[in-house]
């Protein structure tokens, strides 16, 4: 028994010393940054608000700093000039993303654009998404739908205001954005579809969670936070949701016969699957159900939290600083000019009782 304990202590001490030694050797080649602790690295420095903690650290170590989180070495770039170097001059080197647990379970074998490695498929899938799904023409074709959703939200806010009800703007804006996103991608809203709503909420929660296994990979097998179990269940639900949606679109039998401005993202992906396309060579050969699902999931996950959070932050900034410039109130603010939003200014911006 004692010899087992001794062996474990020796192995752990060996690991500890090896990690400590290799860190010291590697640190000489890395940009400046905090000295990491064994095993956890500098995870303890992130606190509850990692963006603020990293900002503070960057003020101490500079716009290009290194930080080890668990076993993974990161380089944090935090000035526009440095970001240009990494994302512009050396973009090909940094184009691939790390293998995270979320990627393992939800990327459909890296068939979308987010987790696929840099190469011909990476180029093909990105070109397809930029040209066919996110082009100005395509996004403009949904303008009527967006206007309709905003009108409905304004009516809801006006009714609430007349009834002197308090409105949770974050929730209201979130619901509108979810509705618009689902209509654009799936062709229908998720408000009367509890299963879809639950699956999307769970996706955003699990995909955004801090997963210890991404930083200390040897802990992955233990699933200490229960996230792997949730990811496995979620993968099944996502599959079921997409199968239902794709089957419904296929059953409609309209593929290829709709006007381009009537097609949602599933229609467009199905039309590529059914017609050989020279424009997207690499993808046309490989597009199948799983690549469709991978792209659809990335679109919906990419669209929801980012857009909701941006609008919420803009509203919070307006509420906290109602007088933006001399004599200017929120209702005078030109959202397009100030925030680059393509929606016209809505007057009044907020309709809640005081
Ligand atoms: C205000 C809203 C948005 C913000 C602030 C935002 C921000 C970002 C950022 C910072 C990235 C990472 C870029 C990188 O790593 O190089 C990203 C990637 C991505 N976004 Fe957005 N985004 C927004 C809206 C959207 C919308 C509406 C969609 C879909 C319709 C979308 C889909 C995606 C996808 C699929 C990726 C991954 C692409 C890749 O791997 O390069 N995003 N977004």
Using the mean position of ligand 1's atoms as its centre, give its distance from the Cα of residue 126 in Å.
12
Mean pLDDT of the 182-209 span: 91
Neighbours of 92 (CB within 10 A): 10
Mean pLDDT of the 154-163 span: 88
Q: How confident is the model at residue 193 (pLDDT cuts 50, 70, 90)?
A: confident
Report the alpha-carbon distance of residue 13 to residue 197 in Å, rounded.
Answer: 48
**Pocket of ligand 1, candidates 306, 308, 309, 315: which has the most ligand atoms within 8 Å of its Cβ, to mutate?**
306
Q: How confident is the model at residue 311 (pLDDT cuts 50, 70, 90)?
A: confident
Using the mean position of ligand 1's atoms as its centre, give its distance from the Cα of residue 304 in Å.
10
341 contact partners, CB below 8 Å, separation of at least 6: 335
- Please give the pLDDT value at position 126: 92
Q: Which residue's CA is the closest to the ligand 1 atom numbered 2?
A: 307
Segment 68-125, tens digit of pLDDT: 999 999 999 999 999 999 999 999 999 999 999 999 999 999 999 999 999 988 998 9
- Please give the pLDDT value at position 229: 97
Q: Which residue's CA is the closest to the ligand 1 atom numbered 11?
A: 302
Q: Which whole-number Å values give the CA distances from 269 to 10, 132, 248, 286, 290, in the listed order?
A: 56, 9, 14, 12, 11
pLDDT beyond 60 at 331: no
Q: How confident is the model at residue 6 (pLDDT cuts 50, 70, 90)?
A: confident
Closest ligand 1 atom to Cα of 87: 16
- CB of 275 within 6 A of ligand 1: the answer is no
Ramachandran region of residue 62, left (φ > 0), alpha (ψ -120 to 50) or beta? Answer: left
- CB of 303 within 6 A of ligand 1: the answer is yes
Q: Which of 242-246, 263-267, 278-282 has the lowest mean pLDDT?
A: 278-282
Coil, strand or helix at 86: helix
Using the mean position of ligand 1's atoms as its centre, give its distance from the Cα of residue 65 in Å.
24
Segment 201-257, tens digit of pLDDT: 999 999 989 999 999 999 999 999 999 999 999 999 999 999 999 999 998 865 556
Report how far Cα 67 is from the mean position of its chain's Cα atoms.
23
- CB of 307 within 6 A of ligand 1: the answer is yes
Using the mean position of ligand 1's atoms as its centre, give its distance from the Cα of residue 303 in Å.
7
- CB of 306 within 6 A of ligand 1: the answer is yes
pLDDT beyond 60 at 349: no
Q: Across the chain, what does the average pLDDT equal?
A: 84
Q: Which domains does the chain have, with CATH numbers?
A: 26-94 (no CATH), 120-319 (1.10.630.10)
Report the alpha-carbon distance of residue 122 to residue 100 in Å, rounded.
Answer: 18
- CB of 96 within 6 A of ligand 1: the answer is no
Q: Which residue's CA is the closest to the ligand 1 atom numbered 36?
A: 302
Q: Which whole-number Å values give the CA distances from 22 to 1, 19, 26, 260, in the listed order?
A: 32, 5, 6, 56
3-state helix vs strand vs coil in the chain, percent to 5: 65, 5, 30
Q: Which of 103-107, 167-171, 331-335 has the lowest mean pLDDT?
A: 331-335
Mean pLDDT of the 27-54 span: 91
Q: Which of 161-165, 202-206, 278-282 has the lowest mean pLDDT?
A: 278-282
- Please give the pLDDT value at position 329: 56
- CB of 114 within 6 A of ligand 1: the answer is yes
What pTM was computed for the model?
0.83
Beta bridge partners, 66, equal 75
Beta bridge partners, 75, equal 66
- CB of 309 within 6 A of ligand 1: the answer is no
Q: How confident is the model at residue 352 (pLDDT cuts 50, 70, 90)?
A: very low
Q: How confident is the model at residue 339 (pLDDT cuts 50, 70, 90)?
A: very low
């Amino acid at each position: 028994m004692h010899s087992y304990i001794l062996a474990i202590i020796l192995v752990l001490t060996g690991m500890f010393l090896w990690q400590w030694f290799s860190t010291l050797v590697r640190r000489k080649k890395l940009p400046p940054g905090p000295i990491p602790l064994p095993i956890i690295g500098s995870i303890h420095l992130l606190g509850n608000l990692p963006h603020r903690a990293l900002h503070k650290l960057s003020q101490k170590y500079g716009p290009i700093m290194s930080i080890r989180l668990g076993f993974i070495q990161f380089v944090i770039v935090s000035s526009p000039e440095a970001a240009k170097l990494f994302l512009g001059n050396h973009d090909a080197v940094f184009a691939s993303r790390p293998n995270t647990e979320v990627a393992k379970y939800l990327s459909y074998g890296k068939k979308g654009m987010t987790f696929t490695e840099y190469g011909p498929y990476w180029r093909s899938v990105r070109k397809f998404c930029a040209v066919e799904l996110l082009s100005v023409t395509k996004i403009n074709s949904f303008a009527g739908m967006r206007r309709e959703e905003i009108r409905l939200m304004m009516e809801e806010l006006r009714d609430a205001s007349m009834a002197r009800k308090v409105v949770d703007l974050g929730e209201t804006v979130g619901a509108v954005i979810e509705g618009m996103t689902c209509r654009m991608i799936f062709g229908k809203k998720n408000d009367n579809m509890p299963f879809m709503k639950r699956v999307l909420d769970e996706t955003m929660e699990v995909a955004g969670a801090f997963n210890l296994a991404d930083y200390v990979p040897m802990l992955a097998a233990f699933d200490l936070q229960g996230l792997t179990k949730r990811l496995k269940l979620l993968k099944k639900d996502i599959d079921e949701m997409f199968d239902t949606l794709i089957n419904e679109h296929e059953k409609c039998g309209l593929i290829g016969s709709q006007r381009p401005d009537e097609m949602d993202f599933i229609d467009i992906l199905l039309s590529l699957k059914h017609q050989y396309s020279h424009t997207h060579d690499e993808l046309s050969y490989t597009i199948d159900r799983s690549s469709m699902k991978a792209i659809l999931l990335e679109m919906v996950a990419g669209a929801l939290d980012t857009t909701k959070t941006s609008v919420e932050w803009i509203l919070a900034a307006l509420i906290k600083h109602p007088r933006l410039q001399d004599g200017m109130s929120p209702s005078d603010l030109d959202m397009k000019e100030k925030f680059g939003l393509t929606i016209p200014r809505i007057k009044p911006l907020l309709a809640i009782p005081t």
